[in-house]
């Protein structure tokens, strides 16, 4: 399995028996990370963030089932966008007062490219710095 981990910190949850064929197992790839110093005008823009997530779903070659976005007020308020895809889910949370956001792109199936989707979100949210981690969710 050619996991697109790009040399990131990885948590290997289980080694598969060698005899198991690629198409017979669940290939789960979960990229998650944090974005710092995002423009609050971006971090509060629910419509924009929803569009970014939807485009990221396309870029990752995931198949959208349903998505929803929510805006929260208050000191720790921000926006949440969650997309349920047939391959698992995408979740973006922002905290505008803290100019902070977290992103999870979790796909199952060897055809999707969650790393490209992660990069796309970062390019659009334009944090001054960000971190990305990788977890293998395969069985």
Q: Which residues bind a second copy (CB under 8 A)?
A: 9, 11, 13-14, 25-26, 28, 30, 32-34, 36, 65-66, 68, 70, 72, 76, 80, 82, 84, 86, 88-89, 91, 93, 95, 98, 100, 102, 104, 106, 108-109, 131, 133, 135, 137, 139
Q: How far is the CB of 118 from a second copy (least distance, A)?
A: 14
The residue from 19, 30, 80, 88 that is catalytic is 88
30 tagged catalytic: no
Query: Cα-Cα-Cα-Cα dihedral of 120, 121, 124, 126, to 10°?
Result: -110
- Tracing tokens 């005899």 back to the chain, one arrives at 19
> 56 vs 71, 90, 115, CA distance in Å?
20, 9, 10
Q: What is the DSSP letter of 98?
A: G
Active-site residues, by number, are 88, 93, 108
């Amino acid at each position: 399995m050619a996991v697109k981990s790009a040399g990131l910190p990885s948590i290997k949850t289980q080694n598969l028996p060698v005899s198991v064929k690629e198409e017979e197992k669940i290939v789960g790839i979960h990229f998650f990370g944090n974005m710092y110093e995002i423009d609050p005008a971006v971090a509060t823009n629910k419509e924009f963030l929803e569009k970014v997530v939807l485009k990221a779903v396309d870029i990752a070659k995931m198949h959208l089932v349903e998505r929803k976005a929510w805006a929260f007020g208050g000191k720790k308020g921000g926006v949440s966008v969650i997309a349920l895809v047939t391959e698992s889910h995408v979740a973006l949370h922002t905290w505008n007062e803290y100019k902070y956001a977290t992103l999870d792109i979790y796909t199952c199936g060897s055809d999707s490219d969650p790393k490209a989707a992660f990069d796309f979100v970062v390019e659009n949210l334009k944090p001054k710095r960000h971190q990305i981690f990788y977890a293998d969710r395969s069985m």
